[in-house]
Every structure is written in C-alpha cells, then in structure tokens.
Structure 1
C-alpha cells in the first residue's frame, strides 16, 4: 500500500501554516467551522467575510479560491450570543478535507464543553496534521479538549486571572491580537478574527486578496500577530508597540500593581528599554503612567459606582483610603470625598 500523501505542512514541527493542497478545482484554502453554543457572531462573521471577499473577484462571494462551511455532529441550528442562529451545512466526516478547523467560542459565563463527537473530530484533525484555530473563547474549548497542552494561546486582555485559573496549564498571551504557535492559531475575537483570517489568506491565496478583503470591510490594513490588543481607552496616545504592551499589562494588574522591572520582563525587554520608550513616546516614566492609570480608574469608579472609597482604593491597588486620598489630591487637586460631594454622591 502506498503511503498516504501529506495534506498539510509540518506545521506542528515548524510553526508554519499548511501549504496549498493539490486539488482538482481552484480552491487554495478550505476552512471548517465549529460553532459553540452562544458563540459570538461578530468573531465568526469577520472571519468568514475575509474568506468570502478573498474567494472571488470583487465582492461576488462565490467560493472559488476559498471555501468554508459550518460542520456539526447533530446538524441542529446553533444560536449565537445575540440570538441569531446559524444552520450547519455538513456533518463532521473526515477532518482532513479542510486546511484549518476553527472553533468559535462565546460568552465566558455560559461556555459549554464541546460534545464528545466534536472532541473526537478535533483529535482526529490534530492527528492528521490539520491546524486548529480557537477564536474568542474557542481557545479555552481547545484547551478543555486537551489540544493546547504546551502551546501558547491568545486570550483577550480583559480575561481576569480568576477566570484563567479555571484552565490549569493554559499558557495565555494577552498582549497580541493573535498567536500562531506551530499548528495552533488563536485570537481573542472581534476585529482580530478578521486579521487572523487575512493572515491565512495572505499565506495561501495571496496578499492582494487579503488586502482587498480588509479594504472592503473598511479595515485600513492587515495587522501582524505581534500587534498589541487595543484594550480600554487610555489617556496615553502612542503607536509605540513596547509602550502599548506595557500599558495593557499595567491595566491587567491595576488591583495588584507590579513593578516596572516585572512589566519589562513579561513583555521581553529590559527595564531600561521600557523606561526609554516611555520617555520618547509619552515624556513620562512608566511608574508615573501606571499611577495615572490607577487614579483615572479610581476617578471613574468614584463618579459612576456606589462603591465605598475604601473599596475603590483596594480595586485600584492602593493600600487604603488614606493612601488613595493623598495620591488623588496630588493628581486631581481634590480628595475622593470632595469629588463625590461635588457630584452629589454619598461617600
């Protein structure tokens, strides 16, 4: 018996994505989707639309260069988190007919485990060398299925530590828009789904098709995996990727502030490099930026929530209400209590 032809690249060994398969038609990229219950429609739609717009001339949407389908074990319609349902088109079958299989997750609080049939299908895909993609909380579903052990994976910056603790052994990355680690690709959803899809189109179909898709979707340009996630609105405006990553890491540790040395270590740079980039980009030290972020959050909580000043102090990483009051007065020229009274709020 002749050996079975290799359908994908040695992605698991090299980190590269799978090459174009030899097909009878013009298809260069075939993607199968698994939708979890209460999946996020935006993440799914962004991914599919990049494939759709790359597959044909203009926006005619014929699945020529790219093909995609939703697979299922039951063929039941799957309801998204916004209430819109999607009807699967194919049974699970042989996973090796796809170049990639994408698992689209959904709401954190309602995240179900994948069915045994889906788990078997994904393990078969992994054994066949088909790269697996986790979108939104799809990364957590892959991890629950035992398919992310030893892999880095992208998670959204707002996934709190207490949530991540539920996934022992997970190696999360929260300062990139997507992560490619050998034959596992992950992104946090939203607009990052479009950029991950464009990355695949660029590799397998062509850069022109990837760019065309994003332009039609009114996305200025394709972003590489290393680009930082946008995070929440900051008073600091910069395009310096080192500063952006540091600021996002600070945001994720507001209640338990970490040192600049630790920030630098986690983003892979020296403390001196980080300090120099902050001075050039923002004309401020990292320590002062971190304090400003914490005080800005404290100001927001004091004017929009019913939390006590003592609780706001704890939530923003201050020792106690006295410590918060001293720092707050220096920064805003008033105390937390005075701010609340001026806004007609109880202390």
Structure 2
C-alpha cells in the first residue's frame, strides 16, 4: 500500500484537501486499498486553514512516504525551518514530492525546485521565478513532472495533478473512473493552458454572452459579424460597438481566440492531424492556424503538441 502524506501548515488553502478524496476514491476502485493517506503538519493536532476551517493532522515523523503533497496558501509566507527540513528529508526518502498551487513556493524555499521545471498558479508564477531564479518556472501549464518532483497550477488543478498521480500508479481506467465520480472531465494534460478565452473576454450583457456561446459551438462556420449580430438581436453596427465596449476586443480577434483555444485543446488531448484540427476549429488552412498560434502563444501548433506530450 502506498503512503501519501498531505502536508498542511497554518493558513493553507482548504480546497487542496480534495486531494484526499481522490486517493479515497481510488481505494474504492481497486480490489484492495492502494493508498493510505495521512494529513500531516510540523507539530500535529488541529491546523487552521485560510478559510477558518481546521483539520486534524499527525505530526511529522518518518519521511519515507510514497508521495508527499504540499498544499498551497492564499497568502504566501516564509516557511518554518522544521517544515523545510522535513521536505528535504522526504525528497530523499520518498518516491515522489508534489506541490499544489503556491505550495511550489514552499518547495522552492527548501531548494527542491533548483534546476527543475515547475509551475504554480498563473497569478504567482512570475513572483516565484523572481524570488527563486534557480527554478525554471512555466506559468501556463496545468502541472509539470520533473524527475520525482511534480508541481501543479492553482486551485482546481490539484484535481488534475492527483488524477495524474493515480494514473501513473494504477492506470488510466482507474483515473477515469475517479473523474466520473467527481463529475469532472477526465484530467487535463500537464501541458494544457491555465487560461480560458471565454473568461478573458468577460462580456457584461447576455446578448454578447449568447453571441460568444453561439460562436464557440459553431467554430467550423465562417461566423461573420452579421451572423453574430443576428444571434444577439442587434444590428451589425450596434453589435460591433457593444462587443468592443464589453470585451475590449474586436469580434474577429475574439473569434480567433476561441478558435485557437479549441485547436489547442484538440492538439493536447487527441491525436488529430494538424489539418483536421484546422478544419474542425474554423481555420481556412493550416498556415492561418499557425499564424494565429504564433500571435497567441509565440509558438506554432507543433510545439504546443510536443509540450503537451511531455510526461
């Protein structure tokens, strides 16, 4: 049975406790329990989260776990010497060391990310790189595996990280069964983007939101301003003006962002050819898709696909 140690500290983010549920569900999908999970802290006892909810913990002891998972925090603060010492001992004694969200700062403070590729919540990625220049921070990844060290993006990316850990241990069928029980899509690949085009646009009115939702469902169509204006029940001129006011983008640029995001998801999660991806997401040809990817990500589609395939 694999021992999982979930490390918490005062002010940890309570959402990260979903990690415990994923290993609990994994035990239900195997003939015999595969995991023994312990929530641990430096001194043991009740530890208060940033939300005010307290959890019971065991004190640090033998650092030889199968996997150590360090939770994140809403407010980043210096770690105690005892926590950092334990993590370095656990790195040597355990098979895997992982962090959720800003837990990457704790690993970096312990020196564990020196010379390693890592990620964290997009809002803190540049700060992580500035404070710990020996780490190689990639701010637009869901999770990264570098040797025995796994780091994830923020908040719900802990689900993707833990599903990937289970998949690594028990296979894809078990991780998919857990995802079903969690009522989430099967885990996102590590190389998948943290960003969402729809969230970035943030339309304020239902009319513009409806037009964008329609566009996202009909990306293979030309999607002219006239077509979208008709969905929004506005004249083309009114629609263009309202769209720019609410999204700070032109309709054409916004549609390109939706197409690029859809194409990236296809590249990362499937084995479709570049030509098929371009056709299914409304690009006239692969060259137009390539130019759109360079504008959006600074990389061509092939590079995005290679990054997503990194184990």
Q: TM-score range by the shorter chain?
A: 0.5 to 0.7
Q: Secondary structure at the match of 1:194?
A: helix
Task: Tell me which residue corresponds to 1:103.
Answer: 70
More off after superposition, 195-204 vs 75-84: 75-84
Task: Tell me which residue corresponds to 2:210.
Answer: none
- What is the CA distance between 1:244 and its match in structure 2? 10
Q: Which runs of 5+ in 1 are unaligned?
A: 1-26, 246-275, 291-347
1:128 maps onto 2:100 in alignment: no
1:264-343 equivalences under 5 Å are 279-280=288-289, 287=295
Task: Tell me which residue corresponds to 1:272.
Answer: none
Give the number of equivalent residue pairs.
223
Distance 1:216 1:169, change over 3 A: same
Which residue of 173, 176, 184 corresponds with 2:141? Answer: 176
Higher helix share: 2
TM value normalised by structure 1: 0.58
**CA distance in 1 between partners of 2:55 and 2:42 (Å):** 14
Alignment check: 8 A CA contact 1:243 1:277 kept: no
**CA distance in 1 between partners of 2:152 and 2:195 (Å):** 13
Distance 1:169 1:219, change over 3 A: same
Task: Tell me which residue corresponds to 1:203.
Answer: 168
Task: Tell me which residue corresponds to 1:74.
Answer: 43
**Residues 114-144 of structure 1, C-alpha deviations (whole Å, 9 max, x = no match):** 2222222111112225321111111111101
Alignment check: 8 A CA contact 1:37 1:112 kept: no
Alignment check: 8 A CA contact 2:4 2:66 kept: yes
- CA RMSD between the two structures: 3.0
**CA distance in 2 between partners of 1:37 and 1:198 (Å):** 26
TM value normalised by structure 2: 0.64
Task: Tell me which residue corresponds to 1:341.
Answer: none
1:26-105 equivalences under 5 Å are 27=1, 29-42=2-15, 44-57=16-29, 64-88=33-57, 90-96=58-64, 98-105=65-72
Q: Secondary structure at the match of 1:168?
A: coil
**CA distance in 2 between partners of 1:244 and 1:158 (Å):** 25
Computing the radius of gyration from Cα coordinates, the structure with the larger value is 1
Alignment check: 8 A CA contact 1:211 1:221 kept: yes
Task: Name which structure has the greater RCO, CA cutoff 8 Å, separation 6+.
Answer: 1
Distance 1:161 1:31, change over 3 A: same
Q: Which runs of 5+ in 2 are unaligned?
A: 202-253, 269-284, 298-311
Q: Secondary structure at the match of 2:157?
A: helix
**CA distance in 2 between partners of 1:242 and 1:156 (Å):** 20
